[in-house]
Amino acid sequence: MGEQPPRMETDKLSAMYGKFTAVKGISLSFAANQVHALIGPSGCGKSTYLRTLNRLHEVSAGGWITGRVLLDGEDIYASSVNPIQLRRRVGMVFQKPTPFPTMSIRDNVAAGLMLDGRLPKAEVDEIVERSLRQAALWDEVKDRLKASALGLSGGQQQRLCLARTIAPQPEVILLDEPTASLDPQGTQRIEELVVSLKEHFTIIIVTHNMQQAARLSDTTSFFYIGQLIEHGTTKQIFTAPTHEQTEAYITGRFG
Amino acid sequence: MNPRAYRRFKSHVMVGLMGVAVLVAVLPLLAILVSLTLKGASSLSLAFFTNTPVPAGETGGGVLHAIVGTLMIVGIASLIGVPIGIGAGIYCAEYPASRLAGITRFVSDVLNGTPSIVVGVFVWTVVVAQQKHFSAFAGSIALAILMIPMVTRTTEELIKLVPVSLREAALALGYPRWRTSLTIVLRTALPGIVTGALLSVARAAGETAPLLFTALGSQYLSFNPDQPMAALPLVVFTYASGPYEEWHQLAWATALVLILVVFLLSVAARLATRQRFSSNG
């Protein structure tokens, strides 16, 4: 590693809501098949930054950016790039579980598969099973695939959303505080999954939980008031931060 | 009185007051249903549903012509009004800040408050007077005009209730915006929208004034929407204001049939849109 080109990269990226600048000129790169954590106090711009990576930021009222975001060296904000197609390559899981309430468990997982035309049913079933297995949910739901997704617990719903996100085989998975609404047990399962998933995907996770960032990630970036204060390997950030603010934050003295 | 007993006392008083409020609210509805049933049920028979009217003075006869008429007039009105209303509601919810949405909202609210007889006169002017004859279709247009603002506003409100997070989850999966709106947001809001549409259908089915100037009413069974047609509220109106005691009986019975038709419509629509799965498969 190290010499390989990054899977994803931002170059002097700023993100605005109308006249308010939430993210200020951030340049970062994310190597493939690693877990990258974004940490920082509330309102520091890390979620906004994450949402620029799949162009969801521009859906928000008044959202716009300057700078560049590269996926495999290609600018995803170029006029030739269709944001709809891009989002199939960069998946996302949100803070609160978001199963589609009108769909069964199976249809939820298959939701992202049917977008480019119909696949044979057998193939869909196969992908659904594989995705649910990867999300460690298969054994719990295999007998009720046709039941409503709303019957699942919060932790199960979140793993369902993870299965739904990995089913179309994106290259990058964005996780926006995926365990914030879960109990400790649900949190632990998601964390185990994240580590196991990096074999296939590049993962960028926003978290408020320092221990979580330390346990899961290969690199950590510390955001503060829209700026990138420090970026490095997780080990370096947590054991020998070079900035005083970073040290203050990770040791719990502010934020 | 010790504080705990006093708090309990207050609680009981308040719960009691709310119970009274519920009773007062429900009582008129029950009274209507009971008196309709008492006065109308005796005149109901199978023949009442399968026959058309007989001349005054003879006994027997039914309201088949008006049942068919109401179903046709309201059916056509729904075909016109519900899709337009839902479409306008989706637009207002998807582009809430646009000028057109603001105008649509304002016009809908004004139209919602417009007396239905005004709509009847309006349709008389632009349709009936132009065609130079009354028609069921003109009645449908009048009812559709009454339905559209109701459906528009409820659709918009119910779509707005769907969490933004659900919309974003679909977009993040690579759903195009139109597909997100139709297959995720609209589907999620659908049961509520159906209820809203049904309320408007039920209201339209009971409207009398707009039909007086448009569908006019008729003594005969007709399936031609270009001709005058009977409708249940019109029959109630005619019979109730007539001079004969038998007519008054028929008016009660017809009113009961009208309630039944509306009730059956809502049951059918609810069955058609109920969730396809139970919570545990």
For the segment A9-21, what is each residue's pLDDT rounded down to a tens digit? 999 999 999 999 9
Q: Tell me the pLDDT tens digit for each residue of B44-94.
A: 888 888 888 888 777 778 899 999 999 999 999 999 999 999 999 999 999
pLDDT over threshold 90, residue B136? yes
* Closest-CA distance of chain B to residue A208, Å: 19
Tell me the backbone φ, ψ of residue B257, rounded to 5 degrees.
-60, -40
Which of B173, B180, B185 to substitute to test the interface with A, most A CBs within 10 Å? B173
Tell me the HSE value of A16 on the side-chain side, using a 13 A CA sphere.
9
Chain A residue with CA closest to B277: the answer is A147
Give the range among A116-130, B50-64, B157-171, B237-251 with minimum mean pLDDT.
Answer: B50-64
pLDDT over threshold 90, residue A255? no
**pLDDT recorded at residue B164:** 92
Q: How many CB atoms lie within 10 A of CB A98?
A: 27
Distances in Å between the Cα of A63 and the Cα atoms of A28, A59, A66, A81 are 20, 7, 11, 18
What is the band of A42 on the pLDDT scale with cuts at 50, 70, 90? confident
CA angle A52/A108/A77 to nearest 5° reads 20
What is the band of B205 on the pLDDT scale with cuts at 50, 70, 90? very high
What is the band of B278 on the pLDDT scale with cuts at 50, 70, 90? very low
A chain contacts of residue B159, beta-carbon cutoff 8 Å: none
Whether the CB-CB separation of A111 and A169 falls below 8 Å is answered with no
Q: Which of B49, B67, B62, B69 is nearest to B214 (CA)?
A: B69
Q: Are B279 and A148 an interchain contact pair (Cβ–Cβ within 8 Å)?
A: yes
**pLDDT recorded at residue B246:** 84
**pLDDT recorded at residue A53:** 96
Range A25-29 average pLDDT: 95
- pTM of structure: 0.82
**pLDDT recorded at residue B277:** 56
What is the band of B204 on the pLDDT scale with cuts at 50, 70, 90? very high
Of B174, B176, B188, the CB nearest to A101: B188
Of A96, A100, A115, the CB nearest to B174: A115
B127: tokens are 């349709």
Q: What percent of chain B has pLDDT over 90?
A: 71
Whether the CB-CB separation of A157 and A103 falls below 8 Å is answered with no
Q: Please report the ipTM that was assigned to this predicted complex.
A: 0.91
Go through chain A and tell me how many residues it has: 255
Q: Tell me the pLDDT tens digit for each residue of A47-106.
A: 999 999 999 999 988 999 999 999 999 999 999 999 999 999 999 999 999 999 999 999
Q: What percent of chain A has pLDDT over 70?
A: 98
* Closest-CA distance of chain B to residue A125, Å: 17
Range A225-252 average pLDDT: 91
Q: Give me the residue label for tokens 């504080």.
A: B3
**pLDDT recorded at residue A144:** 93
**pLDDT recorded at residue B276:** 57
Chain B residue with CA closest to A148: the answer is B279
pLDDT over threshold 90, residue A197? yes
Q: Which of A104, A187, A181 is nearest to A147 (CA)?
A: A104
Please tell me if residue B243 touches chain A, with a CB cutoff of 8 Å. no
**pLDDT recorded at residue B275:** 59
Give the range among A111-125, A194-208, B214-228 with minimum mean pLDDT.
Answer: A111-125
Could you give the CA distance from residue A1 to residue B140 in angstroms, rounded to a whole number?
72
Chain A residue with CA closest to B179: the answer is A115
What is the band of B43 on the pLDDT scale with cuts at 50, 70, 90? confident
**pLDDT recorded at residue B101:** 95
Please tell me if residue B279 touches chain A, with a CB cutoff of 8 Å. yes
Domains present along chain A, CATH in parentheses: 8-250 (3.40.50.300)
pLDDT over threshold 70, residue B162? yes
Q: What percent of chain B has pLDDT over 70?
A: 97
* Closest-CA distance of chain B to residue A48, Å: 14
Could you give the CA distance from residue A8 to residue A153 in angstroms, rounded to a whole number?
33
Whether the CB-CB separation of A100 and B166 falls below 8 Å is answered with yes
Beta strand pairing call for A8-17 and A63-71: antiparallel
* Mean residue pLDDT across chain A: 92
* Mean residue pLDDT across chain B: 91
**pLDDT recorded at residue B279:** 40
**pLDDT recorded at residue A172:** 96
pLDDT over threshold 90, residue B140? yes
